[in-house]
Amino acid sequence: MHPMKLLMLTWNFPPAVGGMEVMIEQIFTGLQQRGHAVEVVTTWADKRPPTPGVHRAPRRGVPAYLLFCLRRGHQLCRTLRPDFILCGSLISAPVGWLLARLFRRPWGCPLYGSDLATGGRIHHWIARFLLRRADVLFPISRFTADLAVRRGARADRCVIIPPGVDPTPFDAPPTTGAESILSACQVRRVLITVGRLVRRKGVLEFVRDVMPTLTKEMPEILFLIVGDDGAQSLIHNKEGMRRQIEAAIQEHNLGDHVRVLGKLSDQELLRLYFNAHVFVLPVLELPGDIEGFGIVFLEAGLAGVPSVATSTGGIPDAIVDGHTGLLVPPGDTAALQAAVLRLLRDEELRQQFGRQAADRARNELNWDKIIDRYETALADVVGT
């Protein structure tokens, strides 16, 4: 395969935190490491050291980013002459489409789910216009691909590629980190959830509606909530879910059974994964807000932790029901309670699901395999 020249236009990029940001950074670095010339145009970041190949907007905000994206993208199209323009999401797609038209280059972008479901009539009209004109689209799950086709995308231009995971940090359990938290986990059955605290995740409802019954059935349960409010999210930045969750803990006298830990270091989180028994993510079905996949399920699996989640959005692509975890209908509190207790009470089954989750994440969904798929799909469009 000949080296390609790629221009990436993306609002979602570190130091912003989230699954989309991780995925876009992995695509950027993964393709670079394979010898492709990749330049990224992205958003403003405070006190971020310069990174080769990364061009940051000089001011914060979506309008400033899009103007910079158009100006710098135009410059790079003239100097780099990219073989392909890859947008990180639909936010950048109008600029990507325009540059592709001006410079006669193919273009496309990943699709996540919520980007297709959120917004009003104008947003949906713009999305339909762009989806019909992309040379290739990369939905992260079967659910997202079906939604894209319903929104106007051509099925033959949709290449489903899920997010991946880096197995290396999970090669051995860490021996340091999160000591104060682990001291509270002694002789406890530990549930863990990880991610931005947004309404869609269903953590508030799990604390309020499921945990009181679980603690009666199994008093040694401890639920660890890792993450903080989605302050940098364009959709969720005003929800204030952490405050609501902490109020529910107090209202239901769950202080001995639920801990809101906020954002942790990678080392601390890794150690908690290895000391957890079940990963829980009770995602809700909300209009315009979809869980497109769930990298956290793969991370938990690499630590040998099976998952309990709801069968909504792209989650069934991340969890193989009855093999790497258990799926229940969204909003079914009784089924959530039963699934959690089943894994906590059946140690042999819990460990079996954990091993199978680790094998699948490590062997089928590692980033090296995922970058292979992107590289092949892009080469097919470019014709190298």
The tens digit of pLDDT for each residue in 81-137 reads 999 999 999 999 999 999 999 999 999 999 998 888 877 888 889 999 999 999 999
The model's pLDDT over 223-254, given as tens digits with 9 standing for 90+, comes to 999 998 765 544 545 568 899 999 999 999 99
Query: What is the topology classification, in CATH, of domain 5-164+366-382?
Result: Rossmann fold (3.40.50)
**CA Rg value for the chain:** 21
Report how far residue 226's alpha carbon sits from residue 217's, in angstroms, rounded to the nearest whole number.
24
Q: Which residues of 160-198 are buried (b: 16+ CB within 10 A; e: fewer)?
A: bbbbbbbbebbeeebeebbeebeeebeebbbbbbbbbbb
H or E segment at 269? helix 266-274
Span 168-364: which CATH code? Answer: 3.40.50.2000
Q: How confident is the model over 323-363, as pLDDT tens digits?
A: 999 999 999 999 999 999 999 999 999 999 999 999 999 99
Domain locations along the chain: 5-164+366-382, 168-364
* Whole-angstrom distance, CA of residue 67 vs CA of residue 45: 16
**What is the value of pTM for the model shown?**
0.87
Alpha helices in 152-232 (DSSP H): 179-183, 203-205, 211-217
10-37 confidence digits (pLDDT tens): 999 998 877 889 899 999 999 999 999 9
Which pair of structure tokens corresponds to residue 155? 């099925």
The kind and range of the H/E element at 137 are strand 136-139
DSSP symbol at 63: H
Q: Do domains 5-164+366-382 and 168-364 have the same CATH topology?
A: yes
